[in-house]
Amino acid sequence: MSLMEKVRVGKAVRPPRIVIYGGEGIGKSTWAATIPGVVFIPTESGIDNISCASFPLCSSLRDVINAIDALSMETHSYKGVVIDTATSLERLIHDDLLQTTKCASIEMVGGGYGKGYAMAAEKFRAVLSRLDLLRSEQGMASIVIAHGRAESFADPEGPAYDRWAPRLHKAIGSQLVEWADIVGFACRRQRTMEAGGRTVARPIGSDGGDRILRTQGGPSCVAKSRYEKIPAEVPLDWLAMAPYFGGVKQ
């Protein structure tokens, strides 16, 4: 077959690569557990009270890699894998580098000058590559959860401002955002208003505000979507979101 005969026409329908982040307690892991047929690879002890399929708690980078490789090489019926969380996975990567280099801190790895963080980003990229193999060979979706934080953003077109972003070193955070098909910021729907001479936030909806996922980036948060029809805000509910994702085995 010639190269021209291999040209694809139209959209490729593939399992999604989803990154979801937000503050503690918003329900990121609980949401991921409602996705049919997923299995968790936990890097921190946050899912003990959630009903889900899960590998044992990973205490090292090797544990994470072994779990992904098991999904790649062994027979199973799982449709997706959840990394919970990328923030703790980054810590495991740092621990792995400190152990192999005998350095006292990540800043000293490789002789300093940011080389340790660059090496950590390479190891993180290797994990994402393994997830891509699950996607192409097993037809599995990938869901990566991260903690969030407000950080300063230097806008080249205006003054700097704070916005929500995944709590990761910039070398790993930018890599994860680029890799994902959708990056969603989980939060509660709120409105701001003046009260007693100051600006306060008031919830919209019940239970402290409806839980939503923002899928378009802006001054308030890092977010993106490669799915054309998904709204800028969707309920933090898999059944509401699933119709927008093509390629997930049902």
For 104-152, the pLDDT digits (tens) are 999 989 888 889 999 999 999 999 999 999 999 999 999 999 999 998 8
Q: Which of 102, 98, 135 is nearest to 116 (CA)?
A: 98
45-53 average pLDDT score: 91
Residue 200 — pLDDT band, cuts 50, 70, 90? Answer: very low
**Looking at residue 198, what is its pLDDT?**
60
| Range scoring the smallest mean pLDDT among 57-71, 105-119, 168-182 | 105-119
| Side chain identity, residue 100 | T
Residue 84 near residue 56 (C-beta atoms within 8 A): no
pTM above 0.85, yes or no: yes
Is the CATH number 3.20.20.70 carried by domain 13-184? no
- With 0-12 CB in 10 A as exposed, 13-18 as middle and 19+ as buried, what is 185? buried
Residue 1 — pLDDT band, cuts 50, 70, 90? Answer: confident
Q: Which of 247, 222, 226, 234 is nearest to 146 (CA)?
A: 222
The domain spans of the chain are 13-184
Residues belonging to the chain:
250
**What is the Rg, in whole angstroms, of the alpha carbon atoms belonging to the chain?**
19
